Amino acid sequence: MVDPSTLRTTEVDFVEDEHPREEHGKFTSKGGGAAKKTKKTPSKSKVKGTQSKNFKKAMDKIAPEVERRFDDDTEYDRNRRALVQNLDGYPQHSSQLRGVGVKIKSPILKSHLSDVYPDAKWSVRTEYYSGGSSMTAGWKGGGGYPYGADEIIHVYSDRGATDSMVDYFDTDNYASLYDMGLASLDKAWQRAKHAILHHNVPSMKASNQ
C-alpha cells in the first residue's frame, strides 16, 4: 500500500473525458488532452530573470551615484557600497539595502516592478524631508491591478532602521504604492463636481433645444 503522505500533488485542471493515458505510473498526453496548469500570480521571490536587462540597466544607472555617495574610506561607506555592489538580483529582504539612500534604491525598485508586472506602467518618486526620506511607486495602469506590488515595495523600505548615531543619513526611509489611475479618476470627478456646483455646464433646457 502506498503511503499517502509520500505523494506529491500538483494543481492541474483536466478536461473531462480527455484524461491522458497512464504509462508505468506516469501521466502522458498521448491520446488525450494535455493538462492545463493553473495560472498563478507572480510573487516577489519569482522574478522574471533576476539578472534581467532591466536589472542590469538599473545597476549601471546607479553605479556613478554609489561611487559618489559612498566615496569615503569609512566602515559605514564600505558596508553600504558593498550592499549595492554585491546584489546578484533583486533584494528579497529590506536588510539587503538597509541604509542605502532612496536615490539609489528607486531605479532598482522601478526595474523590479517592471519585471514582475511587464504590462504595467510605473513611476517612482523620491522625497526628502527632515528626519528621513521616502519613495512612492505610482502605478499608471496597464496589465490589471498589480496585486502583491505592496509586498515588493516594502522590501525597499527601511522601517525600523533608525539609528540615533547616524540618523542624519536617509536610513529611515519608507516606500508606498500609489494608484495613479484612481487618482486621475478622482481629479476628473472633482473637476466635474466643481463645474456642476458652479453652474459651469449648459442647462438642461438649453441642451434640449
pLDDT tens, position by position, 67-99: 999 988 899 899 999 999 999 999 998 889 988
Residue 209 has pLDDT above 50, yes or no: no
User: Which sign does the torsion angle of CA 45, 47, 49, 55 carry?
Assistant: negative
User: How crowded is the C-beta side of 156, counted as CA atoms within 13 Å?
Assistant: 30
SS3 135: strand
Give the per-residue pLDDT at 68.
92
pLDDT at 46: 45
Q: Is the pLDDT of residue 64 over 80?
A: yes
Average pLDDT, the chain: 69
- pLDDT score of 45: 42
Q: Domain extents for the chain?
A: 10-37, 53-186
Of 7-11, 108-112, 186-190, the one with minimum mean pLDDT is 7-11
DSSP codes joined into one string, 142-188: -SS--TTHHHHHHHT--TT---TTTTTSS-S-EEEEEEHHHHHHHHH
Specify whether the CB–CB gap between 116 and 152 falls below 8 A: yes
Query: Residue 34, Cβ neighbours under 10 Å: how many?
Result: 14
Q: Does the pLDDT value for residue 101 go beyond 80? A: yes
**pLDDT tens-digit readout, 146-188:** 888 888 888 888 764 444 444 343 334 556 677 665 544 455 5
C-alpha cell at 199: 453652474
d(C-alpha 176, C-alpha 107), whole Å: 15
DSSP string, 61-84: HHHHHHHHHT-S-SHHHHHHHHHH
Cβ atoms of residues 28 and 21 within 8 Å = yes
Yes or no: say if 27 and 35 are a contact pair by the CB < 8 Å rule: yes
Residue 145 pLDDT > 50, yes or no?
yes
Q: What are phi and psi of 98, to 5 degrees?
A: -65, 130
Residue with the bigger pLDDT between 105 and 5: it is 105
Task: Find the Cα–Cα–Cα–Cα dihedral 84, 88, 89, 93, rounded to 10°.
Answer: -60
d(CA 175, CA 38): 32
